[in-house]
Structure 1
Amino acid sequence: MKQDKLVYVETFGCQMNVSDSEKIVTLLRGLGYNPTTESSRADLIILNTCSVRAKAEQKVYNLLNNYKGLKRQNRNLILGVGGCVAQQEGERLLANVPHLDLVFGTHNLHQLPSLVRGAEAGQRQAEVAFIDTETRLGLFPVDETEGGVTRFVTVMQGCDNFCAYCIVPHVRGREISRRSADILDEINAMAARGVKEVTLLGQNVNSYGLKSQGEMDFAGLLREVSSIDGIERIRFTTSHPKDISPRLISCFAALPKLCSHIHLPAQAGSDSVLARMDRGYSRAEYLAKIADLRAARPDIHITGDMIVGFPGETDADFEQTLSLMEEVRYVDLFSFIYSVRPGTKAAEFADEVPHDVKQERLLRLQNLQRTMTLELNRSLVGSRQEVLVEGVSKRGDQLYGRTSGNRIVNFAGEEGVIGSLVPVTITRAYQNSLLGELLHP
């Protein structure tokens, strides 16, 4: 088959979407499409979308409108949308965007090659049907990408928590845990290709295996992955605080390969807001789990998510969120203004917080987090860190990698150390990264 067609994939949202986009590229290679970083050169454009917030959803529609000009210039250009917006909108996307060729939902990634072949023949199609559990178990896409120091591995999909604000269970479906044997086979193959670090992905990895008869739990899976030769570091995301167990927390004490970082979203610091969100834990319970994590791994770095302006959030509630941040001392925080998501419980709530109040609260929260992040980065100056070298930095004259605590470090060095764990002394701290000096033996 002629190998001169180009595909441009633009990814929005979470690491699960990043992982799915990598698999999209692999699937499309089989149809003769090679990846490009320039949409203007592409024969096929895929938008892999996120609908967690209204802003991300609107950005997709804006991009689709922008690509209308490219379609006029190239009548053979194929335009497709996948991911959560595709799942949410389905056939409506084809109706609302006449120049769109194909739509595929979160359960339909495996159907993308046939959809593209159909589009090449002039067909416009949407596939967004949820698939039953048994069928889905055989459809987890495997990452066969060559090269790379770090890779994502999907261990489960979907979510059963149905937090009041969250659209994920509606667009990703119910929880399903991938067979552990398949996960371990994939990671063994990655290790054989030279991968050094894997990140285990799921909407709620803490509940892995709990609803699969005869399957190990997530702590058991971590222990099995830790035993694989060649894999030197393990990360995972995302965790729901109500489901993180003592057995899982103990892995931070027992498994040296497990990195000193956890993403544990609180979403709010007020008990009344947490209850309205249906999060399933209190402020005190969340802080107790943070304390247990730090007891197991004293140097652990904690990141999280916060929503401001949830319906009914008072000034006192918001102050509780700020005080929680100061008590936890997050290294980084993803923070957002609450936006109504169709079909969620919170979409029916009254007591909407005025937009200007939301904006002011978000600004205060982000300023506080920027201050804490810089302070925590500065506290690492002078320390020796083990850095997994991932490649050449954006500047082009340095290498970069990450500490066990997930801090980015740039430093001078030879490219021969890419893929290795090296000792680095931290010499300077910035807002979003660290500067270091490679220690030679």
Structure 2
Amino acid sequence: MLDLATTKVHDEQRQGESFAPFKEDPNAYNKLFYIESYGCQMNFADSEVVAAILNKEGFGATRKVEEADLIFINTCSIREKAEQTVRKRLTDFKKLKTARPGTLIGVLGCMAERLKSKFLEEEKLVDIVVGPDAYRSLPRLVDEANEGQKSVNVLLSREETYADIAPVRLNSNGISAFVSIMRGCNNMCSFCVVPFTRGRERSRDAESIVQECRDLFENGYKEVTLLGQNVDSYHYIPKDGNESDAVSFAKLLEKVALIAPELRVRFSTSHPKDITDEVLHTMAAYENICKCIHLPVQSGSTRILQLMNRTYTREWYIKKVDRIREILPDCSITSDIIAGFCTEEEQDHQDTLSVMDYSRYDLSYMFFYSERPGTLAQRRYKDDVPLELKKQRLQEIIEKQNQLSLENYKKDIGRTFKVLIDGDSKRSAANWVGRNSQNKVVVFPKNGAHKKGDYVMVQINDCTQATLFGTII
């Protein structure tokens, strides 16, 4: 979400970034591709699948868009501003194509299906349009585009999970990696386009997930993040099995955690209605399953939650927070919050602020409501909260989160955490940066005895609202 306001954005959630495979030699290929990705972690993971498919066709990645034979932009439809940014970038790419005839431009991902005719015919910005379930068809589409055809495949699938494709790790630090465990979403939240752009929910073969995580660990990776639109509804039944053989998300978490104690396991995103006690107890049982849960609330008002079709009430959400705190006292909780949804009144807004106070989020992704074409909300409700009021309420939410984050981080001063070193701090090569189990960024001086990928114990002595500062002990 490109116009989100947040107290911090972790490296793995960067927006609008171009990628090339880690330790990839572009000189090994005669043809080059460039990918720029926007939006959620799933989009970044999808770009790694696309890279693997293109590598097999003889294309190498480049970070220099001006030398690419293929230019792709992996798109996000969550927010209107995201679409505006993508359109601007496509205009920039079209200028590059004018200077370098023969270059092909393609749109991948969530905007592909909804805006395919505009991109191809009305604005003539692209040559290839490919939806999230159609990446296997890219080689054929590239050939068609090279022959002068406008190539499109935006068909959604009930089976595609790309389970057999080993992703090419893009711009990787060699320490952390995303692993997609499922695709699509069955939750018809009224504000969301995902069920229409990514299709129905389907879970990937559990053993293929475990094997991918094992391969990553054997290749030096120390952390995996299991990705899905709603990971808690993961449910895989082997082809020759029955319900008694089913793998739940809790069982999958355990399988990955058992690969090695040194492999950290994270996951995103959870839906409050689906995260179970079994998942929480599994997290408590394994030290290497990180104690951090992203639990989007969206609104603190039961009335607004019903309009959003979130299927829980304010009181139910609060009880879920209580249960997490009971089973995992040291767990970090983060959230998503929408300001100014249809018909929202001042009391609804105050309900959201009070839920924030109760839940004490370490971080929230906060934005004002932006009506998306084709969603249930667009068809059912009037977007009737004035823009200025949306912005005012969003600012109050941001200020509340900034306050909570700083208070939470101050409580960590004096504590000692196990930190995985991600690499050099951006501000000084004299410092390491890493994250603790709660996914909080920790910066600390180097002492010469450690390297990237090591675990170290760090005592915290200072903080901001987004970063902990400490010393190795």
Question: Does the aligned pair in 1 maintain the 2:51–2:168 contact within 8 Å?
Answer: no
| Residue ranges of structure 1 left out of the alignment (5+ in a row) | none
Q: Do the aligned residues in 2 keep the contact of 1:5 with 1:43 (CA within 8 Å)?
A: yes
User: Counterpart in 2 of 1:418?
Assistant: 452
Counterparts of 2:32 and 2:261, CA distance in 1? 34
Partner of 1:162: 188
**Displacement of 1:303 after TM fit?**
0.5
State the identity as a percent: 39
Offset at residue 143 of structure 1 (A): 2.5
- State whether residues 163 and 208 of structure 2, in contact with CA within 8 Å, keep that contact through their aligned partners in structure 1: no
Residues 126 and 78 (structure 1 numbering): CA distance in 2 closer, same or farther, change over 3 Å? same
- Contact 1:399–1:415 at 8 Å: present in 2 too? no
Residue 137 of structure 1, CA deviation: 4.8
Tell me by how many angstroms 1:419 deviates. 1.0
Q: Deviations for 1:253-305, whole angstroms, at most 9, x for unmatched residues?
A: 21211101010000000010011111011111111111111111111111110
Q: Which amino acid aligns with 2:387?
A: H
Runs of 4+ in structure 1 off by over 4 angstroms are 137-140, 210-213
- Taking the aligned partners of 2:412 and 2:209, their CA distance within structure 1 comes to 35
Q: Quick check: 1:401 aligned with 2:434?
A: yes
2:465 aligned with 1:431, yes or no? Answer: yes
Deviation at residue 66 of structure 1 after TM alignment: 2.1
Instruction: Determine the structure 2 residue equivalent to 1:259.
Output: 290
Structure 1 window deviating more from structure 2 (373-382 vs 352-361): it is 373-382
Structure 1 position 367, deviation (Å):
1.3
Q: Distance in 1 between matches of 2:376 and 2:78?
A: 14
Give the alignment partner of residue 9 of structure 1, picking from 20, 30, 35: 35
Whether the 8 Å CA contact 1:9–1:46 is kept in 2: the answer is yes
Cα deviation for residue 121 of structure 1 reads 4.0
Shift of 1:140: 5.8
Please give the per-residue CA displacement for 1:46-70, whole angstroms capped at 9, x wherever unaligned: 1111101111112111211122221
1:242 aligned counterpart, secondary structure: coil
List aligned pairs for 1:336-351, cutoff 5 A. Answer: 336-348=367-379, 349-350=381-382
1:318 corresponds in structure 2 to 349
Of 181, 199, 203, the residue aligned with 1:177 is 203
Cα offset, 1:311, TM superposition:
0.5
Give the one of 175, 181, 188 matched to 1:149.
175
Partner residue in 2 for 1:245? 276
Residue deviations 1:287-344, cap 9 Å, x none? 1111111111111111110011110110000000001001101001001111111221
1:273 matched residue in structure 2 = 304
Separation (CA, whole Å) in 1 of partners of 2:162 and 2:409: 43
Matched position secondary structure for 2:273? helix
Which whole-Å CA distance do the structure 2 matches of 1:436 and 1:97 have between them? 53
- Residue in 1 that maps onto 2:223: 197
Displacement of 1:436: 2.3
Query: Which structure 2 residues correspond to residues 73-152 of structure 1 after superposition, within 5 A?
Result: 73-133=99-159, 136-137=160-161, 141-143=165-167, 145=169, 148-152=174-178
**Equivalent residue letter for 2:85:** K
Q: 1:226 to 1:24 in 2, by over 3 A?
A: same
TM-score of the two chains, using structure 1 as the length reference: 0.94
Q: Which string of whole-angstrom CA distances, capped at 9 and with x for unpartnered residues, describes residues 16-45 of structure 1?
A: 111112222232223333333332343322
Structure 1 residues 231 and 77: alpha-carbon distance in aligned structure 2, compared to 1, 3 A threshold? farther
Q: In structure 2, give the amino acid aligned to 1:438.
A: I
- Residues in 2 aligned to 1:432 and 1:309: alpha-carbon distance in whole angstroms: 26
Secondary structure of 2:235's partner?
A: coil
| One-letter code aligned to 2:273 | K
Q: Using the TM superposition, give the Cα deviation of residue 117 of structure 1 relative to its aligned residue in structure 2, in angstroms.
A: 3.5
* SS state at 1:417 partner: coil
In 2 relative to 1, CA 352–392 (structure 1 residues): closer, same or farther, beyond 3 Å? same
Give 2:321's aligned amino acid.
Answer: I
Greater RCO, 1 or 2 (C-alpha within 8 Å, sep 6+): 2
Structure-1 residue corresponding to 2:419: 387
For residue 365 of structure 2, the aligned residue among 321, 334, 342 is 334
CA distance in 2, matches of 1:40, 1:164: 40
Cα gap change, 1:119 to 1:207, in 2 (>3 Å): same
CA distance in 1, matches of 2:404, 2:415: 18
Range that drifts further, 425-434 or 254-263: 425-434
The answer to whether the 8 Å contact 1:90/1:127 transfers is no
Name the counterpart of 2:73.
Answer: 47
Q: Is the alpha carbon distance of 1:210 and 1:240 closer, same or farther for their aligned partners in structure 2, counting shifts above 3 Å?
A: farther
Of the three residues 234, 243, 250, the one matched with 1:219 is: 250
* Amino acid aligned to 1:157: R
Unaligned runs of 5+ in 2: 1-26
Q: Which residue is equivalent to 2:323?
A: 292
TM-score by length of 2: 0.88
Asked if 1:31 corresponds to 2:57, the answer is yes
> RMSD of the TM alignment (CA)?
2.1
Q: Do residues 303 (structure 1) and 334 (structure 2) align?
A: yes
2-side partners of 1:122 and 1:351: how far apart?
Answer: 42
